[in-house]
Amino acid sequence: MSTSASYSAATADSTTMPSTLDCNHSYYIHPSDSPGMQITTVILTENNYNQWRRSMELALSSKLKLGFVDGTYVKPAANSTLLIHWTRYNNMITSWILNSVTVEIRNSIVYIQCARV
């Protein structure tokens, strides 16, 4: 793939978006990614936060998506063409988080608007 199709979230022009995204772009969605998938086998309970957090960090990092949770990938301006892509992946990651917690925890976080901690 040509380097012209590769953009970083931090340096992308707010008025243009490539027609195709390089697989290393933070907004690239792999065909196997879906809101219903469970990206870790560790389910957050009252007693295993550190293990769950590490498991989620590894999974999100391997998908180049940890920046949505740690704040590295900042939400684009309202007039940016990147906003729709950022929102789509933010929602995907929020779904992954909801799929990796117990029902009791899910009920308390189901209305979060942003995956960022």
pTM of the model: 0.80
pLDDT tens-digit readout, 21-72: 678 888 888 899 999 999 999 999 999 999 999 999 999 999 999 999 999 9
Q: What are phi and psi of 57, to 5 degrees?
A: -60, -45
What percent helix, strand, coil does the chain show, rounded to 5? 40, 0, 60
pLDDT tens-digit readout, 78-116: 999 889 999 999 999 999 999 999 999 999 999 999 999
What is the 8-class DSSP label of residue 101? B
What is the 8-class DSSP label of residue 66? H
Q: What is the pLDDT of residue 24?
A: 83
93 within 8 A of 115, measured Cβ to Cβ: yes
The pLDDT-based confidence of 5 (bands split at 50, 70, 90) is very low
